[in-house]
């Protein structure tokens, strides 16, 4: 189990952040997954809200598809899928702008190191 602990603590350095000092649109994603797997929803959303959104959207999508199979006239999934993707893209863009704004203008680092 020691090897699992070592893998858990591994993290990759964001090249974009290393070169520019700014966050990339995906910065915090790995930390968000780690903290979500540990059950800390608040920190997961703070690190990157797309991770929790993806989990919730996936659960909702599976549920809707299961219900749709039982109906006589199934739902049209294409429109809903496009909406889910657009919401996800909006989350990424808003998160990226907000984190860089807080870092550059306010001097607040919203990606504290993992414990």
> Contact 109/103 with Cβ under 8 angstroms?
yes
Give the C-alpha separation, 24 to 96, whole Å.
7
Tell me the whole-structure pTM to 2 decimals: 0.79
Q: Tell me how crowded residue 35 is: count the other CB atoms within 10 A of its CB.
A: 23
List % helix, strand, coil for the chain (3-state, nearest 5). 70, 0, 30
Distance (Å, whole) CA 96 – CA 30: 15
Domains in the chain: boundaries: 17-104
9-63 pLDDT per residue, tens: 555 667 888 888 899 999 889 889 988 999 999 999 999 999 999 999 999 988 8
Tell me the residue length of the chain: 115
């Amino acid at each position: 189990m020691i090897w699992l602990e070592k893998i858990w603590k591994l993290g990759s350095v964001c090249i974009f952040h290393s070169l520019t000092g700014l966050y990339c649109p995906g910065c915090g994603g790995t930390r968000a997954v780690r903290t979500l797997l540990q059950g800390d929803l608040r920190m997961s959303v703070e690190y990157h809200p797309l991770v929790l959104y993806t989990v919730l959207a996936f659960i909702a999508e599976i549920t809707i598809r299961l219900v749709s199979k039982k109906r006589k006239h199934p739902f049209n999934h294409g429109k809903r899928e496009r909406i889910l993707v657009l919401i996800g893209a909006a989350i990424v863009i808003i998160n990226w702008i907000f984190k860089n704004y807080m870092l550059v203008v306010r001097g607040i680092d919203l990606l504290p190191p993992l414990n």
